[in-house]
Amino acid sequence: MKIGIVGLGLIGGSLAIDWRSLGHTILGVSRRPSTCEAAIARGIVDRASCDLALMAEAEVVVLCTPLGAFLPTVDQLLPHLSPETIVTDVGSVKGWVVEAIAPRWENFVGGHPMAGTAESGLDAALTGLFQNCIYAITPTAHTPSRAVEVVTQLARSLQAQVYKCDPQDHDRAVAWISHLPVMVSASLIASCMDEESATVRSLAQTLASSGFRDTSRVGGGNPELGVMMARYNQAAVVRSLQGYRQQLDAILQTIEASDWDNLETLLGQTQRDRPAFVDPA
Amino acid sequence: MKIGIVGLGLIGGSLAIDWRSLGHTILGVSRRPSTCEAAIARGIVDRASCDLALMAEAEVVVLCTPLGAFLPTVDQLLPHLSPETIVTDVGSVKGWVVEAIAPRWENFVGGHPMAGTAESGLDAALTGLFQNCIYAITPTAHTPSRAVEVVTQLARSLQAQVYKCDPQDHDRAVAWISHLPVMVSASLIASCMDEESATVRSLAQTLASSGFRDTSRVGGGNPELGVMMARYNQAAVVRSLQGYRQQLDAILQTIEASDWDNLETLLGQTQRDRPAFVDPA
């Protein structure tokens, strides 16, 4: 199969590596000529170009640019394609992506391979990135079943676990488990830095160990990624933050009221609930 | 030196192992005869008893019971000791401990070895638990310098890094970096479970990966430990939660206002601030 990859970064490059090793022909598009050259030199793609016209030959086109570049890219891409070409994407938000693209392209299937590393860019692309990861696919009632089937098979061929879900449900779910944690964790760092006593702040930095390290990790990550989550999944992120704030207030009130039985009940419940998220059956 | 350990759990047992291996004589007290027998059988202590009278011989006594047992234990312990006996503790909160014990025992030095494992009890005790860990020591202006020096040397002999600090500063600092993260993390789990759509909740559980795993870890821990933090460090924990809530509200308002520049500035700041906590110079 001829597969077009638009955007040769960590995800696009890693998809290209795995699919090419399975015998597919990979056509890559990047804005930068140097990235095209590097992708060819490393054997990541068969051919590469800065011109989206290269996608005319592809049977499946995968949008792998940052979310902010999706709409202008699609505007330029679609005129090159024949109607049976399947278009999919790897964006971490699905609601507005599906709403924006599906009405303009019948054979569009939203996708979200949930993999990554701390690195970005083509240099970070690697073999087997998606192995055992979840690959969410978000067809609608109108998505042609052949397109869903092709994207599903391509995802499975990466040894990813495919989950089909509604785009809005996807966005609400990732707001809870991916986007909210970033805001929660960033607020932790910011509030510690707000401590007015320099002595206490410095002591906190000295005494911080694994608990702080883990809880603050995602809040100390790439700020552009955090903005992207909030911007493109705004409604679901606001909803999650509001729900979170209620829980935080409930804990604060319980502690202020010295209601230790209730606090123990609450913390006992979170202890029992966590494994469903981190140790899926 | 003859060292008495009151409370033969993970911390008390691990202190006993290391100090005994350095040539000290270790006298252990546990409420349970079976724990005393196990401590002798494993060679963790030289002698053990359920009776605090055993401490009469000790030159240094280390309180290693849970915080909730400190005051009744001290009531029973002090009448057995000669005035020059140094008493210290390993409690994770220092303000009220120092306030409660120092007026009753001149040679009292508050301590907090910041080490642990997910396990508890004497069975979990191990060699080298405190190596490279921070051991906070919280003398006051009235603590005799000899007592501070003896406890400092004992802590250093474990290959721990000793930090001396004010008891109240200690409690404010651990509220930020240890106790607040538990409440922040528990609120995350609780709010995800509050999602009204069972489909979205189940999808969130399926899609959760390393970001959620790390941010939720300390909120899914031992509820008794969480209650202990809030109960014995109530003022500092409430203060930290209130400061945290302000930061959370600021982020929520920034997102509601679609103020992406401000959000990026804020997340850029947390990215720059985190290393001071997790990669101390």
Report ipTM (2 d.p.).
Answer: 0.91
Instruction: Confirm or reject contact between B40 and chain A (CB < 8 A).
Output: no
Give the bridge partners for A134, in sequence order. Answer: A161
Instruction: Confirm or reject contact between B195 and chain A (CB < 8 A).
Output: yes
Q: What percent of chain A has pLDDT over 70?
A: 99
Q: Kindly report, as residue ranges, where domains of CATH 3.40.50.720 are found in chain A.
A: 2-165
Coil/strand/helix, residue A109: strand
Which fold would CATH assign to domain A169-278? Answer: 6-phosphogluconate dehydrogenase C-terminal fold (1.10.3660)
Question: Residues of A with CB below 8 A from B196's CB?
Answer: none
The closest of A129, A44, A273, A7 to B189, measured between CA atoms, is: A273
Give Cα separations from A86 to A17, A110, A145, B210 (angstroms): 20, 11, 11, 31
- Superfamily of domain A2-165 in CATH is NAD(P)-binding Rossmann-like Domain (3.40.50.720)
Is the pLDDT at A230 greater than 70? The verdict is yes
Instruction: Confirm or reject contact between A159 and chain B (CB < 8 A).
Output: no
Is the pLDDT at A117 greater than 80? The verdict is no
Does the pTM surpass 0.80? The reply is: yes
The per-residue pLDDT for B252 is 98
Write out the H or E segment, with its range, that includes residue A100.
Answer: helix A95-101
The per-residue pLDDT for B170 is 98
Asked if A277 lies within 8 A of B208 by C-beta distance, the reply is: yes
The per-residue pLDDT for A116 is 80
Q: Which of B163, B204, B213 sits opposite A176 (nearest CB)?
A: B204
The per-residue pLDDT for B264 is 98
Question: Residues of A with CB below 8 A from B214's CB?
Answer: 214-215, 217-218
Dump pLDDT digits (tens) for A68-85.
Answer: 999 999 999 999 999 999
Is the pLDDT at A133 greater than 70? The verdict is yes
User: For residues A31 and A54, is the Cβ–Cβ distance under 8 A?
Assistant: no
- Tell me the C-alpha distance between B143 and B138, whole Å: 9
User: For residues A48 and A61, is the Cβ–Cβ distance under 8 A?
Assistant: no
The closest of A114, A119, A89, A92 to A10, measured between CA atoms, is: A119
The per-residue pLDDT for B280 is 56
Which position has the token pair 């020096």?
B149
Instruction: Confirm or reject contact between A221 and chain B (CB < 8 A).
Output: yes
Q: Kindly report, as residue ranges, where domains of CATH 1.10.3660.10 are found in chain B.
A: 169-278
What's the first-to-final CA gap in chain B, in angstroms? Answer: 35
The per-residue pLDDT for A159 is 97
Which stretches in chain B have pLDDT values below 70? 280-281
Mean pLDDT, to the nearest integer, of A169-174?
A: 98
Instruction: Confirm or reject contact between B271 and chain A (CB < 8 A).
Output: yes
| Band (A244; pLDDT cuts 50, 70, 90) | very high
